[in-house]
Amino acid sequence: MGYKAKFINKIVCLLIISWSALMLLAALLSMYRDYAYATILAKNEAVVSVKKDLAYRKWIASHGGIYVPITKRTPPNPYLSHIKNRDVNTSASQQLTLMNPAYSLSQMMKDYSELYGTKGHITSTILMNPKNKPDAWEEEALKQIEKTQEPIYTKTEINGEEHFRYIQPLKTEQSCLKCHAFQGYKVGDIRGGVSVSIPMKWYYNEAFKTIVLNIGIIIIVYLIGLGVILYGRKKAKEIVEKKVKDYEQHIFSFVNIIEKRDSYTAGHTQRVAKYSVLIAKEMGFNDEKVDDLYRACMLHDIGKISTPDSILLKPGKLNNLEYEIIKEHVVVSYELLNSVDIYKDIAEIVRHHHEHFDGGGYPQGLKGDQIPILSQIMTVADAFDAMTTNRIYKARKSVVKAIEELNELASKQFNAQVAKAASVALKDVIIEHNITQLPKSKIEKERFVYFYKDQITGIYNKEYLDFVLAYNSSDEFNMKHLYIVYLHNFSQYNTTHGWVNGDELLSKVANKLDSINTNDLIFRIYGDDFVILSEKEFDIESHISELEEILAGSNISISYKKFDIEQEDITSTEELEKLF
């Protein structure tokens, strides 16, 4: 997974977690609601059942009880024996008995329980019929009813099965005294209650069916939502990747512009990225880390935008102050990358790619494991590219020699494990022969020699002569002959005519020498002497008279010496000076 997917995946993970949590909550709420609704339905049935019983009882009470035929099922109520005319004869063959409201209701409750499983019970603390004795729950409920005169309900177990239990208080009315006055009740007294027990099993079964249906619907909705999120992730990833790709193209173009400022390091960024990826894969880093490292390498020198051209483009060695200034590019790179959200994760890698394992690097002098491991990989890749690239004053090394040097510096400049991995990962790398810091195009050469131009005469200076002699007989230069032109008594001319006039005269001499042959290289050395490098030998004597015309009346004399560069093995100004 690359950085391009990190942000999207974080959002998608958050959405999936949120969506899953929402659907789980919906499922739990649905289960809770359905099971709670089962209780509500049971309560409603209990209330309706009790109200029905009370309505039936009230109807009977309003008629003073009812007379029913005496049968085996409806024998005379022994608890009403104190009432006159409890039993009456309607004919010789039929005898009726009085059934009071409570007795009639208990009979009906018994039938209802057998038919539907709903157990009704009329009960009291002062019993007329022992069969109406309250159970433990009813007894506790009756005590509360005495205080609150309100219905009591709850869920509890009966014979191991959960029931919804409900009890409605019975208030004594005038019609009740016919049968219960002897018990001491007065109108308005709580005389007991009508209790009902509803088995919860059927309601729970129905609730379970509803839950299964709802969960199925929730799962379908969840899967649809998940599909939408994943589809959105795909589209968002495509959009973001396109935007990031466009953004990175601009950034990498910006890096290319920076490299074009420094034509001697062209392609360096891509090569360091390539070498770093090979090393990281050899060390077993995952794709995400490899991608981070690649991006860090592509941007590791972006801070050079702040380095002055006079330092960045200087072909020669830097002095101490210049070196301190160019070291600042890693800090600038870090600050630039750290200010951009998509590059924050690689800013630290870039910041420390010039640290050394032994603590001798910069910018913070970190050592060992203090240095991020990806930075340590980039350090090795950066050094390997430098070793295998033609430098201004140092020819490139072969891959074998470069790897040997990496191992020699292991545990000093480089992490030993990284150097070991590089030895394997980079051993088959093919270095292009055209990889060089030396200028190739006319424009590059002109930019290059800008630092080697003499400011007074516009021709080349001694430093460039050293450079050309060092790289002579190579693909860059093939000079065979060297001429030294000496100007004598020039300091006296400066004293007499002033430095400005002296500079003008030097420029005239330089221009004349530069016009001798367009393929020659002309250098001003040691103030008032000149060197001509030429591929072909020419007759300099024929041009001396032209120079003398320029110097006429100045009291300056002129002489020259001629050398065969290859025969004299001249490779530096120091060796040339010995031949003066």
3-class SS of residue 195: strand
Average pLDDT over residues 157-175: 86
In a domain, 21, yes or no: no
Return the pLDDT at 236.
Answer: 77
How would residue 389 be classed by pLDDT, with cut points 50, 70 and 90?
confident
* Claim to verify: residue 349 and residue 485 sit in the same structural domain: no
- CA 122 – CA 196 distance, rounded (Å): 9
Overall pTM surpassing 0.85 (yes/no)? no
* Claim to verify: residue 405 and residue 493 sit in the same structural domain: no
* Claim to verify: residue 462 and residue 397 sit in the same structural domain: no
Residue 331: pLDDT above 50? yes
* Claim to verify: residue 279 and residue 403 sit in the same structural domain: yes
* Claim to verify: residue 384 and residue 484 sit in the same structural domain: no
Is the distance from CB of 560 to CB of 530 less than 8 angstroms?
A: no
In a domain, 50, yes or no: no
How would residue 507 be classed by pLDDT, with cut points 50, 70 and 90?
very high
Average pLDDT over residues 46-69: 79
* Claim to verify: residue 545 and residue 509 sit in the same structural domain: yes
Give the tens place of pLDDT for each residue, 478-493.
899 999 999 999 999 9
Give the tens place of pLDDT for each residue, 173-200.
776 776 677 777 788 788 888 888 888 8
Cα-Cα end-to-end distance for the chain: 67
Q: Sheet holding 521-525: strands in order across?
A: 521-525, 529-534, 481-488, 557-564
The CATH number of the domain holding residue 539 is 3.30.70.270
Is the distance from CB of 529 to CB of 577 less than 8 angstroms?
A: no
In a domain, 403, yes or no: yes
In a domain, 374, yes or no: yes
What is the 3-state composition of the chain as percent helix, strand, coil, each rounded to the nearest 5?
60, 15, 30
Residue 315 backbone phi and psi in degrees, to 5 = -75, -30
473: nearest Cα among 386, 429, 533, 388: 533
Give the tens place of pLDDT for each residue, 205-225.
998 999 899 999 999 999 998
Domain range enclosing 506 = 453-577
- CA 236 – CA 262 distance, rounded (Å): 38
* Claim to verify: residue 299 and residue 368 sit in the same structural domain: yes
* Claim to verify: residue 572 and residue 476 sit in the same structural domain: yes
Return the pLDDT at 416.
Answer: 95
Tell whether the torsion through CA atoms of 422, 427, 431 and 437 is positive or negative: positive
Return the pLDDT at 306.
Answer: 82
- CA 106 – CA 121 distance, rounded (Å): 7
In a domain, 503, yes or no: yes
* Claim to verify: residue 418 and residue 459 sit in the same structural domain: no
Lowest-confidence segment of 100-109, 290-299, 371-380 by average pLDDT? 100-109
Rg over CA atoms, the chain: 54
Indicate the residue among 408, 425, 442 that finishes a domain.
425
Is the distance from CB of 19 to CB of 27 less than 8 angstroms?
A: no
Helix (H) or strand (E) holding 544: helix 541-551
* Claim to verify: residue 275 and residue 406 sit in the same structural domain: yes
How would residue 1 be classed by pLDDT, with cut points 50, 70 and 90?
very low
Is the distance from CB of 507 to CB of 534 less than 8 angstroms?
A: no
Return the pLDDT at 374.
Answer: 96
In a domain, 558, yes or no: yes
- CA 13 – CA 20 distance, rounded (Å): 10
In a domain, 410, yes or no: yes
Calculate ∠ Cα 327-329-331, nearest 5°: 95
The two beta strands, 161-171 and 529-534, are unpaired
Return the pLDDT at 393.
Answer: 58
Give the tens place of pLDDT for each residue, 440-461.
655 666 666 677 888 899 888 9
Average pLDDT over residues 79-84: 78
In the chain, the number of structural domains is: 2
Return the pLDDT at 381.
Answer: 95
Average pLDDT over residues 51-76: 80
Packed helices 101-116 and 3-62: angle between N→C axes, nearest 10 degrees: 140
Residue 422: pLDDT above 90? yes
* Claim to verify: residue 361 and residue 477 sit in the same structural domain: no
The CATH number of the domain holding residue 341 is 1.10.3210.10
What are residue 563's DSSP bridge partners?
Answer: 482
Give the tens place of pLDDT for each residue, 518-576.
788 899 998 899 999 998 999 898 899 899 999 998 999 999 999 999 898 898 888 88
In a domain, 2, yes or no: no
* Claim to verify: residue 372 and residue 462 sit in the same structural domain: no
Residue 3: pLDDT above 60? no
Packed helices 416-425 and 373-387: angle between N→C axes, nearest 10 degrees: 50
Give the tens place of pLDDT for each residue, 354-371.
999 999 999 999 999 999
pLDDT > 70 fraction of the chain, expressed in percent and rounded: 87
Per-chain mean pLDDT for the chain: 84
Per-residue burial over 377-409, b if 16 or more Cβ lie within 10 Å, else e, is bbbbbbbbbbbbbbebeeebbebeebbebbeeb
Return the pLDDT at 315.
Answer: 64
Residue 342: pLDDT above 90? no
